Structure 1
Amino acid sequence: MDLSEISEELAQIEGQINDIFRALSNGFQKLEKIKDPNRRSRQLEELTDKMRECKRLIKEFERVMKEEESRNTRETVKVINDKKQSMIKELNSYVALKKQQASSIENKRVDLFDGPSAENGFGEENVLLASSMTNQQLMDHGNQMLDETDQAIERSKKTVQDTVNVGAETAAALKAQTEQMSRIVNELDSIHFSIKKASKLVKEIGRQVATDRCIMAMLCLIVIGVIAIIIVKIVNPHNKDIRDIPGLAPPANRRLLWAPSD
């Protein structure tokens, strides 16, 4: 059949899709030459956006195809459907290439095109059209993804809270240790001051004891001298030298008492 029988709207959408395919081909060729992981990641994100746009256009192509299905012949419908399947397969090939590149640069972002393609080129829950899924299935799948996202967020919150708690406990422990070290330093300063004061006091006591010993020694010498003189006086009372010692000689009236009477 003549392909010119395809409506102008479908031909326009097909042209936009082909433009995206050419951009994807050039983009992946450019991606192979980029060495910097960050630049590769940004380039891959741009290509992913183009694939999303291509997916949207294929959905639009399918919608228009169904609207015009009643006005087209069976052969025309078959040709249009073959074009759709061909576009789906080509997009799936870029999706597979995108997965390979994402794995090579360890890109962990959620892949909206994740999942194997079906034999007819569709992945009902991944890359392309979801025409075979009911609205309820789509809603259930969306709710499941939201639940998984909420669970991941809760796990992240728990991890962050645990990290904050550990940090707070560590800070409290460090503060307690710092205060303890300050008390130890203060106690050491007090002990050092006490030792210095005690050492000074011991020196003063030593000097005082030395002075007292000198005085005691002098007193002892004086007492011994006095005792010696007394002993000598008792033994030899007529010793003139002893009488001449001041304070030990007998007074004059005593000398008269001792003198013989006329």
Structure 2
Amino acid sequence: MSSLSSISETLGELDGQISDIFRALSNGFQKLEKIKEASRRTRQLEELTDKMRDCKRLIKEFDQEVKDMETVNDANTNRILNEKKQSMVKELNSYVNMKKQYVNNLENKRADLFEGPSEGAGEQNVLLASSMTNQQLVDHGNQMMDETDQAIERGKKIVQETIGVGTETAAALKAQTDQMSRIVNELDSIHFSLKKASKLVKEIGRQVATDRCIMALLFLIVMGVIAIIIVKLVHPNNKDIRDIPGLAPPAQTRKLLSYAN
């Protein structure tokens, strides 16, 4: 098999992408050796971890493509593809172990600042890695990548919950703002209504005062008429009191008319 592209174009593309990531990881770890500042080393490790995560995803896609083509390819081709996949996994795990070793070294250096150097810790880690089989290295690398993925998922969940809380808080603040605006508008309407009512009460008061004056005047007129009627009835022959039409005695009027005739 000269190239994976002759078997599958997808496998060829995946193999090329994975190879590019492996070269980037190799150069990245070489660069990491030359970095002395702790913060820069930490950032470089984070970038390398992202590349390893992408590589793991591509290897899974490569494995799925190999499984999909098992029924099409012959046994020899399937064997070669599986060996290629195992080689990719082994190389990725080697970088995972290198990253873990760098992380442990950083942690040990930080601990040495407070507790002093621990003798034999680095040698113990090297011996532990060298005593593991290839399958154990693969399993250990997969476990580390799974733990990293779980930590990322937990971080995403926390971010989503934070965004949800922020959205609910913003909605509640908007609702309260709208409610305050409505209250202010209602208070303005009430104030306007009170001013209008006060003006109307004043107008009614003035009208009532005018009506009372008119009623008092009418009362005086009526009382005067009644007084004249009473006096006229008591002294019908009083010439000083002017006759009121319709109230003079009828008999006397007829008498005066007979005298005239």
Q: Which residue of 2 aligns with 1:230?
A: 229
Give the corresponding residue for 1:189: 188
Task: State the SS of the aligned residue for 1:241.
Answer: coil
State the shift of 1:202 in Å. 1.4
Look up the match of 1:134: 133
Identity %: 62
Task: Assess, with a 3 A threshold, how the Cα gap between structure 1 residues 41 and 151 changes in structure 2: closer, same or farther.
Answer: same
Structure 2: distance between partners of 1:229 and 1:96: 125
Q: Which one-letter code corresponds to 2:239 in the other structure?
A: K
Question: What is the identity, as a one-letter code, of the residue corresponding to 2:121?
Answer: S
Question: Aligned partners of 1:142, 1:236: CA distance in 2, in Å?
Answer: 138
Cα 1:166/1:125, change in 2 over 3 Å: farther
Larger Rg, first or second structure (1 or 2) = 1
Aligned to 2:222, the other structure's residue is in SS state helix
Aligned partner of 1:214 in structure 2 is 213
TM, length-normalised to structure 2: 0.51
Q: What is the deviation of 1:222?
A: 0.4
Q: 1:188-225 CA distances to partner (integer Å, 9 max, x unpaired)?
A: 22222222222211111111111111111101100100
Per the alignment, residue 78 of structure 1 pairs with none
- What is the one-letter code of the residue matched to 1:201? L
Unaligned regions of 5+ residues in structure 2, if any?
A: 1-33, 46-104
Distance 1:143 1:44, change over 3 A: closer
Higher helix share: 2
Q: Which amino acid aligns with 1:222?
A: I
Residues in 2 aligned to 1:167 and 1:96: alpha-carbon distance in whole angstroms:
36
Distance 1:136 1:259, change over 3 A: same
The 1:257/1:185 distance shift into structure 2, 3 A limit, reads: same
Q: Work out whether 1:156 is the aligned partner of 2:167.
A: no
Tell whether the 8 Å contact from 1:115 to 1:123 is kept in structure 2 after alignment. no
- Which of these residues, 105, 109, 119, is aligned with residue 98 of structure 1? 109
The alpha-carbon distance between structure 1 residues 195 and 125, as it changes in their structure 2 partners (threshold 3 A), is farther
C-alpha distance in 1 between matches for 2:127 and 2:150: 20
Q: CA deviation at 1:142?
A: 1.1
Coordinate RMSD, CA, aligned: 4.3
The residue aligned with 1:168 is 167
What is the rounded CA distance, in whole Å, between the counterparts of 1:193 and 1:96 in structure 2?
72
Cα distance in 2 for residues equivalent to 1:96 and 1:175: 47
| Per-residue CA distance 1:143-174 (angstroms, 9 max, x = gap) | 11101101110110010000000001111111
CA contact (8 A) 1:233 1:239 kept: yes
Against the structure 1 CA distance between its residues 95 and 166, is the aligned structure 2 distance closer, same or farther, given a 3 Å change threshold? closer
TM-score with structure 1 setting the length: 0.50
Structure 2 Cα separation of the partners of residues 193 and 178 of structure 1: 23
Q: Which residue of 2 aligns with 1:117?
A: 121
Change beyond 3 A, Cα 1:248–1:96: closer
Q: How does 1:1-262 map to 2 (within 5 A)?
A: 41-42=38-39, 98-101=109-112, 117=121, 121-124=123-126, 130-243=129-242, 257=256
Could you tell me which amino acid in structure 2 is paired with residue 241 of structure 1? Answer: D
Structure 1 runs (4+) deviating above 3 angstroms are: 40-46, 94-97, 101-104, 245-250, 258-262
